[in-house]
Structure 1
């Protein structure tokens, strides 16, 4: 299925925190935007070779606008600087999506943990949990109070939200939030890698849902490991064609080199855009998106980073 893609207009540009810019996007003709659920993100094309993923952090019930928030990263790859310096109200941005690899599952209780700009996918989850009548709490940390986005909106939830600026109170104390969790509780976490790693180490198996902005360390190392691996073949089920995937070359690149178009974006295994159905064979998963249960099932794989545990894969391409 082809993803929605359109030129959207920046209808509003406002500061959400120090270094965080919130943009409201609308269709230029007032057409309704596709529906989305908490946890969804969109791909924003900022220029040739400059495409980034941003979580939707507005109201899913409002089909007239989408809201994203962009943290200016001093050591980034140029996307956030472009948004902060070049994008103005009235400009048009090519946007594709929405796509959701961080969906809010139904549960009677939630524990939300956010670090920095990781509040963006969590924000609409809080409203959904509230509307569903679930019991929930949020632990939200960042380097400084001024750098924490959307704190005014969070204020309406009262003491269910705990805000911890690092320069005032130190790092987040995860023990009171994650220790002795009731069996019917799900934990949702988004933020920098060290926070996600700490939460993963403390959270009971099967209870945690995370979204990473950057790949896990193991996923980053995967291409280097792949260089020493044997070539394998990918059979494209829709056409019957067979494509060789040599060591050090991703499935995505090999298939595209053969002239087959595949929807993709981050090429790091973090956005989920290139998730592809596996018809036959065992994937060697190296992404930062799929859960352990999804990896064990082997029904899909992210072809931008994952490979094959064997000599042959059949994919729904």
Structure 2
């Protein structure tokens, strides 16, 4: 059975990066190295209020002394970003859950990065890594106003490869220009608001399968599904539960005393990833690629169900 590990941390520094965006550096209270991570990873910040939110790491993986995250102030948020902006201060203790990587950044012949707003945060370390590898790359970065677009100063070193589109000055990113013609050997990594990601998906439909890599901050709206009851057998725990329609597998397992690490409960963070030993999952997450879904060997039990009457899970 799995649980969610939490580590102590302290706020080392806060810095304004743009209008409404603050970066937060977090370090170990005793000065120890933090767990390693790769470009595209995120951590979960557990605030003193008990609120836990996922934030992409935007510092350097080579610097294990601190993690850096960027937080957009969202007035309509559920309290996480508002607390960070209003109350978090240097020296304040917090807790973090270690890095998790759903993006899967890997070596390619060349890269096209697309970022919208705060979606620049997971892209920044990828840009630096691609540069270190000596791979050709370009970054397309859009936002409502230049003043609200974080980390522009850090990107000035790559001016010939970075294309900035403040919407109030030049309009939306011209995705047809960037994605109209597939590029052989180019991998596309994109992060930002849902309208941007949906548009990127639509315009890369004719690209080679597996070329596009996305990370969403919020779950996509999905049509209502007519669920049927499913029997879930927990191989490690020797527990079997019947999950009725309208209930998540995760909540049923929790009520049965089966510990499964979980966080977002929306199918976007990856914390509740669970191995499937038997049965066919009905994937409803916003993480897995089509190839991963077809493999059927893992699922996110907070939102996904089953296409078969019975599932055997490795929990």
Say yes or no: TM over 0.5. yes
SS of 1:10's partner is strand
CA shift at 1:50, angstroms? Answer: 1.6
Question: Does the Cα contact within 8 Å between 2:3 and 2:259 map onto a contact in 1?
Answer: no
Please give the per-residue CA displacement for 1:255-279, whole angstroms capped at 9, x wherever unaligned. 0000111101000000001011100
Q: Does 1:309 align with 2:313?
A: no
Which residue pairs with 1:24 in the alignment? Answer: 25
Which residue pairs with 1:209 in the alignment? Answer: 213
SS of 1:296's partner is helix
Please give the per-residue CA displacement for 1:9-68, whole angstroms capped at 9, x wherever unaligned. 100011011000100001010010001000000011124552100000000000101000
SS of 1:217's partner is coil
SS of 1:21's partner is strand
SS of 1:138's partner is strand
User: Structure 1 49/234 Cα, relative in aligned 2: closer, same or farther at 3 Å?
Assistant: farther
Aligned mates of 2:220, 2:135 — CA distance in 1: 31
Which residue pairs with 1:267 in the alignment? Answer: 265
Residues 133-152 of structure 1 mapped to structure 2, 5 A cutoff: 133-152=134-153
Aligned mates of 1:43, 1:102 — CA distance in 2: 15
CA shift at 1:162, angstroms? Answer: 0.5
Question: Does the Cα contact within 8 Å between 2:7 and 2:98 map onto a contact in 1?
Answer: no
Please give the per-residue CA displacement for 1:58-105, whole angstroms capped at 9, x wherever unaligned. 000001010001000122111110110111111011100100001212
Q: Does 1:291 align with 2:289?
A: yes
Please give the per-residue CA displacement for 1:107-158, whole angstroms capped at 9, x wherever unaligned. 0110000000000000000000001111100000000000000000000012
CA shift at 1:3, angstroms? Answer: 5.8
Which residue pairs with 1:251 in the alignment? Answer: 249
Which residue pairs with 2:166 in the alignment? Answer: 165
Q: Which moved more, 1:173-182 or 1:279-288?
A: 173-182
Q: Return the TM-score normalized by structure 1.
A: 0.96
Q: Does 1:175 align with 2:176?
A: yes
Unaligned runs of 5+ in 2: none
1:238 to 225, 236, 241: 236
CA shift at 1:2, angstroms? Answer: 6.0
CA shift at 1:106, angstroms? Answer: 1.2
Unaligned runs of 5+ in 1: none
Aligned residues, how many?
311
Question: Does the Cα contact within 8 Å between 1:4 and 1:34 map onto a contact in 2?
Answer: no
- Runs (4+) of structure 1 exceeding 2 A deviation are 1-5
SS of 1:242's partner is strand
Which residue pairs with 1:106 in the alignment? Answer: 107
Aligned mates of 2:53, 2:84 — CA distance in 1: 10
SS of 2:115's partner is strand
Aligned mates of 1:249, 1:48 — CA distance in 2: 28
User: Structure 1 158/214 Cα, relative in aligned 2: closer, same or farther at 3 Å?
Assistant: same
SS of 1:53's partner is strand
RMSD: 1.2
CA shift at 1:4, angstroms? Answer: 4.9
